[in-house]
């Protein structure tokens, strides 16, 4: 059964893999936008160390970041998966029953490092598509795929980007809208169904490559020709 997420002024968000470069940055960012975030990990001590570090770096109210295991993070109202794509199946499949009825956000990019910089993985489906196949009772959506972790995790950086959301469920887009409501320069854009997730994930490698080539931390903006 799919249950529409009910917004109550702030969200309780769980991040699976919340100790990584991207997940920890998103945890602090989301907390700075007014949400309560469960920072999931395979190791609760590692999660506690991450939360302590984030509280030192960011000026956050006590208790908005909660250290926990991935299983506890998965019990939050909205869940973000911030894992390397190669570890999705082993980590997420066992959490499937806990994630039934929830919006599951995937910033996961199916890209791999190379000597020329990151490259899209040519074979196979998008990570978000794979997640949706695994989590048939959940509403999976791409989100935040193009934001560089270095920018996300820097408290002095105001994020300035569109967020491309692909999902077979429009309600999942509404969740991203609520999540980013207090972030003035972050605009979620609904792309359409998950079939477009592959293009969104692949484009990340082009953005990362452009940022390396041009020594920038650029995000992505759609422009409007008709004002
Ligand atoms: N880095 C970026 O700039 C960026 C930007 C946008 C999107 N993304 C996407 O966000 C995701 C996370 O990126 P990241 O750079 O933060 O990755 P990461 O640091 O390599 O890994 C994130 C976390 O995943 C957990 N993990 C690592 N290997 C695992 C395994 N084999 N099994 C289970 N858990 C494992 C670890 O948490 P524990 O050890 O605490 O369990 C780790 O801290 C990726 O899919 C990436 O494509 C990254």
> pLDDT tens digits for the chain (227 residues)?
444 445 556 899 999 999 999 999 999 999 999 999 999 999 999 999 999 999 999 999 999 999 999 999 999 999 999 999 999 999 999 999 999 999 999 999 998 888 888 888 888 899 999 999 999 999 999 999 999 999 999 999 999 999 999 999 999 999 999 999 999 999 999 999 999 999 999 999 999 999 889 998 888 999 988 87
Which of 14, 22, 86 is the pocket-test mutation for ligand 1 (most atoms within 8 Å of CB)?
22
* Domains, the chain, with CATH or none: 12-214 (3.40.50.720)
**Number of Cβ atoms within 10 Å of the Cβ of 87:** 13
> What local confidence, expressed as pLDDT, does residue 8 receive?
53
> What local confidence, expressed as pLDDT, does residue 4 receive?
47
Residue 223: Cβ-neighbour burial (10 angstroms; 0-12, 13-18, 19+): exposed
Nearest ligand 1 atom to alpha carbon 148? 3
Cα 225 to averaged position of ligand 1 atoms, centre (Å): 37
Ligand 1 contacts (CB < 6 A) are 17, 19-23, 41-43, 46, 82-85, 87, 91, 107-109, 145, 147-149
**What are the helix and strand counts (H, E) for the chain?**
9, 10
Task: Show Cβ contacts of residue 142 under 8 Å, excluding neighbours closer than 6 positions.
Answer: 105, 106, 107, 126, 128, 164, 165, 166, 167, 191, 194, 197, 200, 201
- Protein residue with its CA nearest to atom 13 in ligand 1: 22
Which of 54, 83, 154 is the pocket-test mutation for ligand 1 (most atoms within 8 Å of CB)?
83
- Report d(CA 145, CA 121) in Å as an integer: 15
Cα 55 to averaged position of ligand 1 atoms, centre (Å): 20
> What local confidence, expressed as pLDDT, does residue 120 receive?
84
C-alpha dihedral (211, 160, 82, 15), degrees to nearest 10: 160
- Protein residue with its CA nearest to atom 30 in ligand 1: 87
> What local confidence, expressed as pLDDT, does residue 128 receive?
98
> What local confidence, expressed as pLDDT, does residue 218 receive?
85
């Amino acid at each position: 059964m799919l249950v529409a997420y009910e917004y109550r002024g702030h969200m309780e968000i769980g991040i699976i893999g919340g100790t990584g470069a991207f997940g920890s940055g998103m945890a602090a960012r989301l907390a700075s936008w007014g949400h309560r975030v469960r920072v999931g990990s395979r190791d609760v001590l590692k999660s506690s160390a991450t939360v302590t570090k984030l509280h030192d770096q960011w000026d956050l109210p006590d208790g908005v970041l909660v250290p926990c295991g991935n299983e506890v993070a998965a019990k939050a109202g909205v869940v973000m998966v911030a894992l390397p794509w190669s570890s999705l199946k082993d980590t997420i499949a066992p959490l499937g029953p806990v994630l039934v009825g929830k919006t599951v956000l995937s910033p996961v990019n199916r890209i791999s490092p190379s000597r020329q910089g990151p490259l899209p993985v040519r074979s196979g489906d998008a990570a978000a598509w794979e997640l949706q196949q695994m989590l048939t009772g959940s509403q999976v959506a791409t989100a935040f795929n193009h934001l560089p972790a270095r920018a996300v995790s820097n408290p002095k950086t105001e994020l300035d980007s569109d967020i491309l959301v692909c999902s077979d469920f429009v309600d999942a887009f509404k969740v991203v809208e609520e999540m980013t409501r207090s972030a003035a320069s972050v605009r979620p854009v609904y792309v359409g169904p998950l079939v477009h997730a592959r293009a969104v994930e692949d484009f990340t490698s082009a953005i990362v490559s452009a940022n390396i080539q041009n020594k920038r931390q650029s995000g992505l903006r759609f422009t409007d020709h008709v004002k």
